Amino acid sequence: MTPTSQDRYSADYLDRVAGSLYSSVLSDILDEAGHRQQVMRCDLRPLYPGAKLAGRAATALAVAVAEVPRQPYELLMDLLDGIRPGDVVVAAVQGGVQAALWGELLSTHARTRGARGAVLDGLSRDSWGIEEMKFPVFAAGVSPADSRGRLEVIAIRQPILAGGVPVADGDLVLADEDGVVVVPAAIEEEVVSRALQKVASENVIRDVLRQGASIRKVFEEHGIL
Amino acid sequence: MTPTSQDRYSADYLDRVAGSLYSSVLSDILDEAGHRQQVMRCDLRPLYPGAKLAGRAATALAVAVAEVPRQPYELLMDLLDGIRPGDVVVAAVQGGVQAALWGELLSTHARTRGARGAVLDGLSRDSWGIEEMKFPVFAAGVSPADSRGRLEVIAIRQPILAGGVPVADGDLVLADEDGVVVVPAAIEEEVVSRALQKVASENVIRDVLRQGASIRKVFEEHGIL
Amino acid sequence: MTPTSQDRYSADYLDRVAGSLYSSVLSDILDEAGHRQQVMRCDLRPLYPGAKLAGRAATALAVAVAEVPRQPYELLMDLLDGIRPGDVVVAAVQGGVQAALWGELLSTHARTRGARGAVLDGLSRDSWGIEEMKFPVFAAGVSPADSRGRLEVIAIRQPILAGGVPVADGDLVLADEDGVVVVPAAIEEEVVSRALQKVASENVIRDVLRQGASIRKVFEEHGIL
Amino acid sequence: MTPTSQDRYSADYLDRVAGSLYSSVLSDILDEAGHRQQVMRCDLRPLYPGAKLAGRAATALAVAVAEVPRQPYELLMDLLDGIRPGDVVVAAVQGGVQAALWGELLSTHARTRGARGAVLDGLSRDSWGIEEMKFPVFAAGVSPADSRGRLEVIAIRQPILAGGVPVADGDLVLADEDGVVVVPAAIEEEVVSRALQKVASENVIRDVLRQGASIRKVFEEHGIL
Amino acid sequence: MTPTSQDRYSADYLDRVAGSLYSSVLSDILDEAGHRQQVMRCDLRPLYPGAKLAGRAATALAVAVAEVPRQPYELLMDLLDGIRPGDVVVAAVQGGVQAALWGELLSTHARTRGARGAVLDGLSRDSWGIEEMKFPVFAAGVSPADSRGRLEVIAIRQPILAGGVPVADGDLVLADEDGVVVVPAAIEEEVVSRALQKVASENVIRDVLRQGASIRKVFEEHGIL
Amino acid sequence: MTPTSQDRYSADYLDRVAGSLYSSVLSDILDEAGHRQQVMRCDLRPLYPGAKLAGRAATALAVAVAEVPRQPYELLMDLLDGIRPGDVVVAAVQGGVQAALWGELLSTHARTRGARGAVLDGLSRDSWGIEEMKFPVFAAGVSPADSRGRLEVIAIRQPILAGGVPVADGDLVLADEDGVVVVPAAIEEEVVSRALQKVASENVIRDVLRQGASIRKVFEEHGIL
């Protein structure tokens, strides 16, 4: 079920990743493969309970600004009008300003174009509307304050640092209630395949534990805890 | 629908503000009017999902104390027994002590007197009871620890700094899941009126975007994002 | 209803504590008894709304490590295989590393052995699964990252500092949506007994306040606010 | 050399405390006496190297304000015009605003009246002038911004919480390059007397260690490390 | 002594500002003029005692990056090779990465071109060499780690937010041991002129206070504290 | 000048490292070699200006405790009595408690045994005495509070995480006013050798820049900035 280069954005593939995998199992497999820094900072949280997404990073970098630029939102609009099905907007917001880069109108637009969610190392707003439409957004918080004159997107579709993790445009991103994991492209095929196997093992172990097994024995037999 | 001085506390007016407006649209209009610091710090959050309030600030300032005062709660009780319908208790708790200034019994009393909620740049407790009675409380967190001997209210009905925003007694406060916005009295009439218009525009734009419009075109035509 | 030494772990007793008491009333009684530091830091939060637990601390201390130890999880497995009915795992995770000490498989095992929940001055993971099974876990956050090679338990069943509060193995711990309270063994009997009385008083006061009583009069008559 | 109530402010006594003792030996003796919370937060630092003071707390509480009060500085001026020889101004500044409560002109005035320094759980300014006059000031930082319209003193000569420690007016305060220690009045006589003895012991141990002694033997013999 | 547009960069003028003024007096005058947000965050500190600078902001914005760019340092080198006498490099470093944007070689180059110092809302390195050459650098800290592959300058000579203050290229910046103050160009002439007058007043007051005057009387007569 | 395994602790070798190298040049060479996480957090600072050390890590891990252990200081004393010439005590203090693990008596002992300094991801005390004896100590701060009953060393001579960097016992540690760098044993020989070459290059560049060279040309020719 691993993707060839042409079907990396296929709805089928991404639906299977979102449906069968979760962030902690991906993190475990990445750990085993020696990629131990692929989990974003734990203050990036879903805007509503149950939010989950898997998709391809469409990256943006925003910085704090001191005044409204002559042409605000330029690159942000370029990114949004170029959204492809399977994309997840992943934005790094630098500069520590409390203003929302994302909101309900952008979510409405992004979903219409086929985006599967957004991950913001920064703030969102319109959380009530975003929850209502069940568009999975992960953010460091929310604020009613708009980004105009506070933040400006200065680069899109470039490698960024978001939540402490390097993210390249097109990387597989999976986010759920535990947090956000980024899978580097070079190892995606192997990681996804092994993660699917681990999910199966965990289901077995869960049943064994429910019957009162010693956790030491389970660990010795399965190597999983 | 803007208020004359006598009906600023009218249930009718405040219900319409709470029903038709939300924090992000108010923040946008305040930004346009050059009041760009009217949103409280984003760590002030509702105690339960869906909490929303609009009302008149009944201000209190509490500070950390090192011992139980001879007559604890004096000014807090003055504030509470003087609550008028339409009030929202807005308290700035200074000193970084982890104790709750607010709780379920105070919420019960305040609601009985007509208060519409509370905003605490500080902690609350009894969150389960407050959620049960659906009294909208916004706070920086919760703690089981009582304020007695930890915090004491030292001024009421005075201008305060809460969540980083100056609040005068009687200011219009609106809080929802995105955060807390304060509208200075001098511009309330204009701000509320323009916010109602903006809500209408956003409803139009949302529909246009759902049909797949370019976000750049929408922004060029409506000036809103 | 106070416990003799043999029935401190009885399901009956712990159920009554969890059913009749809550964290804020326990904190108040502890305050009155001069134990004013028994509430954990307010960033320790339930993983899902409504989580509540009362039980006996089964303590663990974990520290940040720089590599996978030869025999990972050793003491953690000792603790888990030794869980008795009535236990609550209370773990202090030191070192500031963002990795989860706890998760769904451990919760499954612990519940099977009779544990009533877990309190982590640290992170958990598998929050979706833990919520599904309604195993009450309180933590400083969640992260998909596993503890292997990041954290290691180095002491169990010893006195620890968790959430800023000293916790001895066997101490009564009660946690609900307001936070986590620890009752030292030496005063447990008295504290629980007085807390039950206070709950009754608060029910009376709540009714009085609902009828519009002055809060000052209520405080003068009942000494409670 | 312990003080009677009339000579607690004597220059002689305070000079001997400042000359013979230091903060760490006082902290050790307070620990032994069961007072383990008498050291202020470690971010309160001297404004210049070598600053040291011992004196009687002249307490003030300042809070963040949102506007310039009608009569600014009222209580601060009361405190300053009432300074007695031996006093140390100890101010708790609550509210997290970056503005300086203290500066060179106040230092000049305070020294003229006999004050021995200042301890601010808050900011100072004019650090260059204060260093030049060698007036020992301990603060959480410096800022050029004045307190007018940002902070206001709202209580003087009352018990305060400064640097996390309760301070009563008149308490003995000793501050040096290690930090700030507060000695409660009730145990001052015993603490000072035992601290002088400990200084003597440490001088002996230092010589023994310089000759290459085992630190375990030194600890076994002297009980000090 | 106020500058015409052609002599704003004159060594004579900037020397007089640095020699006669200091950050707290400039902050006071800016406060009076209603510009109350011109002081940078108080964690921006001089790298060595006694550092002081006055000059024209040469602004740069750097952001965290996840990899070494193809042509690292491009805009930083443009800024540096374009340094004019009187310039002060003012850099906003966004993204929270612990790496040094500035160091001794850049200081050597900048001084050779006539720069009067550097202000970094970020980190420096080579602090020992910078102190040795007495090039006044103000920073949020130091780190041995180079910026290559960690930070990249993405805009120069543009308006930035540094230390929480908007800074336009060419703005007058004064920094000393109290902190960093930015004077907006539109009011520079008036602010500098009034600050010089205030320095004279403070010298008078200092003498009056040294003679034991009541601080209340001094404030009533001079309006300064 | 690279060490064989027997002379890694030689005074001669360590003196040459401390005398010829500095933290930033080591960090640059480690970066080039792909070891980009070898610099400790930038809040670890020297206790006095000019402090510098190079030596072999003698590692300790201390954790927060809730009470005085039966035999306090056990492992700390083992470490200290086993100090060898060339050692640098490197201690990770976990648990966020404000108490000093290190002080003047320990410094006196360690120096007598040949230790070259101490690096604490934690606090020290007796800073005045440590500066007087010029024993280079790097720490996250100072506090008068002793570690007894607050912290306890629970492992020595084991791999630790200090300042965010893995440190193995015996690793080369260099600390100066810029910060603390750890050189993994496997690459020490190559890193030290290349760092010595880089120091020479920087001396050349410094002279070229002093003559007014373009920084772009310097970078193009030397690849160093």
Residue of B nearest to D68 (CA): B159
Number of C-beta neighbours around residue A159 at 10 A: 17
Q: Are residues A111 and A215 in the same domain?
A: no
CB contact under 8 A, F42 and E125: no
| pLDDT above 70 for D4 | no
CB contact under 8 A, F161 and C92: no
CB contact under 8 A, E143 and F42: yes
Q: Match 């145990």 to its residue by tokens.
A: D187
| pLDDT above 50 for D192 | yes
Question: How far, in Å, CA of A50 to CA of A54, rounded?
Answer: 13
Q: Are residues B145 and B161 in the same domain?
A: yes
pLDDT value, residue A225: 79
Q: Are residues D114 and D175 in the same domain?
A: yes
pLDDT value, residue B9: 87
pLDDT value, residue A6: 56
| pLDDT above 50 for D1 | no
Q: Are residues A38 and A126 in the same domain?
A: yes
Q: Are residues F157 and F59 in the same domain?
A: yes
Q: Are residues D126 and D207 in the same domain?
A: no
pLDDT value, residue D96: 85
Q: How confident is the model at residue B2 (pLDDT cuts 50, 70, 90)?
A: low
> Does residue A6 belong to any structural domain of this protein?
no
Q: Is E137 left (phi over 0), alpha (psi -120 to 50) or beta?
A: beta
> Does residue A25 belong to any structural domain of this protein?
yes
Instruction: For residue range C57-112, list pLDDT tens digits in order.
Output: 999 999 999 889 889 999 999 999 999 999 999 999 999 889 999 999 999 999 99
CB contact under 8 A, B27 and A108: no
Average pLDDT of chain E is 94
Contacts of B81 in chain C (CB under 8 A): 214-216
Closest CA to E152 of E66, E47, E48: E66
Pairing of strands A53-64, A151-156: antiparallel
Contacts of C108 in chain A (CB under 8 A): 206, 209-210
Average pLDDT of chain F is 94
Distance from CA of C102 to the nearest CA of F (A): 18
Instruction: Give the closest of E66, E97, E161 to A95, CB-based.
Output: E161
Percent of chain E with pLDDT strictly greater than 70: 97
| Range in E20-29, E30-39, F13-22, F61-70 with the lowest mean pLDDT | F61-70
User: In tens digits, what is the pLDDT along chain A, a chain of 225 residues?
Assistant: 455 655 888 999 999 999 999 999 999 999 999 999 999 999 999 999 999 999 999 999 999 998 899 999 999 999 999 999 999 999 999 998 899 999 999 999 999 999 999 999 999 999 999 999 999 999 999 999 999 999 999 999 999 999 999 999 999 999 999 999 999 999 999 999 999 999 999 989 999 999 999 999 999 998 887
Judge contact between D180 and D90, C-beta under 8 A: no
> Does residue A22 belong to any structural domain of this protein?
yes
pLDDT value, residue C223: 84
CB contact under 8 A, C65 and F159: yes
Instruction: Give the closest of A97, A154, A159 to E66, CB-based.
Output: A159
Q: Are residues B145 and B208 in the same domain?
A: no
| pLDDT above 70 for C157 | yes
- Chosen for mutation from F161, F165, F171 (greatest number of chain C CBs closer than 10 Å) is F161
D170 close contact with E: CB closer than 8 A: no
Range of the domain at C217: 193-222
Average pLDDT over residues D101-116: 97
Instruction: Give the closest of A31, A177, A212 to C128, CB-based.
Output: A177
Instruction: For residue range E82-135, list pLDDT tens digits in order.
Output: 999 999 999 999 998 899 999 999 999 999 999 999 999 999 999 999 999 999
E112 close contact with F: CB closer than 8 A: yes
pLDDT value, residue F37: 95
Instruction: For residue range B120-154, list pLDDT tens digits in order.
Output: 999 999 999 999 999 999 999 999 999 999 999 99
Q: Are residues D54 and D102 in the same domain?
A: yes
Judge contact between F221 and F30, C-beta under 8 A: no
Distance from CA of F209 to the nearest CA of D (A): 33
A32 close contact with C: CB closer than 8 A: no
Question: How far, in Å, CA of C10 to CA of C26, rounded?
Answer: 20
Distance from CA of D114 to the nearest CA of B (A): 28
CB contact under 8 A, B126 and C178: yes
CB contact under 8 A, F108 and D28: no
Instruction: For residue range E175-191, list pLDDT tens digits in order.
Output: 999 999 999 999 999 99
In sequence order, which residues have a C-beta less than 8 Å from that of residue F7 and are 6 or more positions away? F13
Residue F146 sits in a domain whose CATH number is 3.50.30.40
> Does residue F61 belong to any structural domain of this protein?
yes
Alpha-carbon separation of residue A147 from A47, A163, E14, F88 (angstroms): 18, 19, 37, 49
Q: Is the pTM of this model over 0.90?
A: yes
CB contact under 8 A, E159 and A94: no
Q: Are residues D145 and D214 in the same domain?
A: no
Per-window interface: C 65-94 vs F, CB < 8 A: 65-67, 92, 94
Number of C-beta neighbours around residue D180 at 10 A: 29
Q: Are residues A143 and A209 in the same domain?
A: no
| Range in B186-195, C67-76, D78-87 with the lowest mean pLDDT | C67-76
Distance from CA of B139 to the nearest CA of C (A): 12
- Chosen for mutation from D84, D128, D132 (greatest number of chain E CBs closer than 10 Å) is D128
Contacts of C125 in chain A (CB under 8 A): 24, 178
> Does residue D5 belong to any structural domain of this protein?
no
Torsion angle, CA of E49/E54/E58/E62, rounded to 10 degrees?
30
B96 close contact with A: CB closer than 8 A: no
pLDDT value, residue E4: 61
Average pLDDT over residues E153-174: 97
Q: Look at chain F and report how many structural domains it folds into.
A: 2
Average pLDDT over residues B44-51: 97
> Does residue A4 belong to any structural domain of this protein?
no
Q: Which chains touch E (3 or more CB pairs under 8 A)?
A: A, D, F
Instruction: Give the closest of E67, E97, E154 to A154, CB-based.
Output: E154
Q: Are residues C53 and C147 in the same domain?
A: yes
Contacts of C219 in chain B (CB under 8 A): 73, 77
Q: Are residues A161 and A215 in the same domain?
A: no
A64 close contact with E: CB closer than 8 A: yes
Q: Which residues of chain F have pLDDT under 70?
A: 1-6
> Does residue C106 belong to any structural domain of this protein?
yes
Q: How confident is the model at residue B108 (pLDDT cuts 50, 70, 90)?
A: very high
Pairing of strands B151-156, B53-64: antiparallel
Average pLDDT over residues E28-42: 97
> Does residue D35 belong to any structural domain of this protein?
yes
pLDDT value, residue F163: 97
- Please give the residue that has the higher pLDDT: either E5 or A220: A220
